Chains A and B, each alone.
Chain A
Amino acid sequence: MKLTLYWATRLSLSRLLREFCFAVFAFGFLVVPANGQFGSSDKLTPKSADVFAKLLEKDWKEKPEWAEMLGTLLRGQSIGANTGWFKSSESRIGWDWLKRRFDKNGDDKVGASEGESFKKVFAAIDKNGDGGITKIDFDWDDVSHVNPQKPSEKIFYSLDRDSNGRVDQKELAQLLKALDNGKKGYLTPNDFSDAFSDFDRPAKQTPSQTARRVDPNAMLNMFFNGELGNLTDGPQLNAVAPDFELSLLKSDDSMKLSSFKGNKIVVLNFGSFT
């Protein structure tokens, strides 16, 4: 019932009184319960979550990463590589630079003969090890030590103790030592099944699938708690790296990042051990 107010100037007093009484009467039907409850659930409804997600999906100038992640969570989508704020890496130098600099014959491949003094380095860059460097050597989407799918991948990553993508003599020797129950000097099928029984389980219990069954509300709480990642964005590519001065583990000194400027390239390897 729409209430309209009439300016009194042109109206007669009697008409105004009539209108006023009508308004009061009409208003009686619009009374809202005093405590403000409309009787619906006090959790965010799926419909509201959907509206919120749509707002977050609009084109923003410089949309922060938390907005992308929150949108994914509100949609109830499972998290994993290439969802929400989990994206591919960025680097200012890659295939394009290599091709420009070294692909002399323009065949979209940099081979050993074109490598000048960098031949040894090329072997390390050659991801698929086919003897030549091409654009596909720069595609790392298929690599995930977090959630390897195939049993052979799972075994490989558990062998690759230093995570350098290679299993060498040393790591095989470590494997022998670690798996050898009773220090026999050799391994039996039992030693193997003891160590790798996890991989013998049927594929349906993969970690990503169990993660999917996590309650969406719990995920949201984890998100706001910072447990899925920082709510900040981190420096942009080519921006000045945020400086820090932190205690060193093996000496009484501290190390300041900016002290390396002009002197060394620095790799920052962030991790935790709990």
Chain B
Amino acid sequence: MSGNDAAGISFAQPKNFEQRFEVAEKCAARLDMKTPVVIDSMDNQTAENYAAFPDRLYIVDMDGKVAYKGGRGPFGYKPREMEQTLLLLMMEAQVNARASRGNGSKGRDEATTKGTDSGKKTPVESKKK
């Protein structure tokens, strides 16, 4: 890819998991990634399940449900748009937690409060190729 070459990034397509792992390591180093990086299996099953090739952003909320589904990459890959939704979700979690604490309701309340305490996100980067 000419854009990559200009940036000094040039790899052959990995043919096995070890090679893909190496590319992922270089990528994480180069981009100074602070978030956890996971690597898709060579059959690209996770990418398939999320229709994520070549790149895509999703947010999974605390109920394990898709709360943001980015447009297909490359055109739909918009980190700032994702960030906006993420902030709203975090605000929503706090707002809900306050509300249920105010009501003094039990049971569900614990799950929500726990969620608020660790209402930080965990960005998980999934690398293919």
The interface on chain A, measured as residues whose beta carbon lies within 8 A of the other chain's beta carbons, has a size of: 73
Stretch from A3-11, A23-31, A49-57, A121-129 that touches the partner: A121-129
CB neighbours (8 Å) of A263 from chain B are 62, 114-115, 118
- Residue ID in chain A nearest B13 by CB atoms: A274
Indicate the member of B48, B55, B56, B72 with the most A CB atoms within 10 Å.
Answer: B72
- Residue ID in chain A nearest B40 by CB atoms: A246
B115 touches A244 (CB 8 A): no
Closest 4 CB pairs of A and B: A234-B51, A270-B52, A273-B27, A246-B38
A266 touches B123 (CB 8 A): yes
A89 touches B66 (CB 8 A): no
8 extra A-B contacts, CB within 8 A, seeds A249-B39, A261-B64: A89-B76, A91-B69, A124-B87, A239-B66, A244-B45, A260-B60, A269-B124, A271-B125
Q: Which residue numbers of A lie inside 8 Å of B, CB to CB? A: 65, 80-82, 85-94, 97-98, 101, 118, 121, 124-125, 127, 137-138, 140, 143-147, 162-165, 226, 229-230, 232-242, 244, 246-250, 254-255, 257-258, 260-274
User: What secondary structure prevails in chain A residues at the interface with B?
Assistant: loop
CB neighbours (8 Å) of B49 from chain A are 232, 234-235, 242, 244
Q: How far is the CA of A255 from the CA of B64 in the complex (A)?
A: 15
CB neighbours (8 Å) of A260 from chain B are 60, 62, 64, 122
Contact of B129 among A90, A269, A274 (CB under 8 A): A274
A265 touches B121 (CB 8 A): yes
CB neighbours (8 Å) of B77 from chain A are 145-146
Q: How far is the CA of A254 from the CA of B78 in the complex (A)?
A: 27
Q: How large is the interface on B (under 10, 10 to 19, 20 to 34, 35 or more residues)?
A: 35 or more
CB neighbours (8 Å) of A144 from chain B are 75, 78
User: What secondary structure prevails in chain B residues at the interface with A?
Assistant: mixed
A146 touches B75 (CB 8 A): yes
CB neighbours (8 Å) of B69 from chain A are 89-91, 234-237
B51 touches A272 (CB 8 A): no
CB neighbours (8 Å) of B82 from chain A are 89, 267
Sample (8) of A-B pairs whose CB atoms are under 8 Å apart: A65-B51, A89-B70, A144-B75, A242-B49, A263-B62, A269-B35, A270-B56, A271-B128
A229 touches B126 (CB 8 A): no
B71 touches A234 (CB 8 A): no
Q: How far is the CA of A254 from the CA of B119 in the complex (A)?
A: 22
